[in-house]
Amino acid sequence: MNYLKGVLFIMVLFVGIETVGAAVLPDNDRKNVWAEYMQLISTRRTTTTLLKPELRAAVDAIDTWVNDNASSYNSAIPLPARTSLTQKQKVELLLFIVKRRWEIE
């Protein structure tokens, strides 16, 4: 469940006008996402050829991409949903779609 909370925390950057132009996650939050994902990989016994610093670079790059594309996500939501849904609802909807699309539990 912590993994999904981490995903939700990152995705919150995608929604609402208030978040457009928001800063990337603080370094400590990025470290927590990195650590939680490493724990998930370990728990699942999933193999990867990435070194820890390479995975951390991926976390940083993805967080930056999320930040840079927040307004694009919000603009893609058609009216009236864009103005009727709350920020949390927009994040939840995105999370449901991503989970279904890539079969993430």
Q: What is the pLDDT of residues 48-89, one digit of tens each?
A: 999 999 999 999 999 999 888 888 999 999 999 999 998 889
Query: Quick one: CA dihedral 100, 34, 61, 67, positive or negative?
Result: positive
For the stretch 8-59, pLDDT in tens is 555 554 544 445 446 799 999 999 999 999 999 999 999 899 999 999 999 9
Instruction: Provide the domain count of the chain.
Output: 1
Helix, coil or strand: residue 39: helix
Q: Residue 93's domain spans which residues?
A: 2-101
The DSSP line for 65-97 is HHHHTHHHHHHHSPTTHHHHS-HHHHHHHHHHH
CA distance 85 to 76: 13
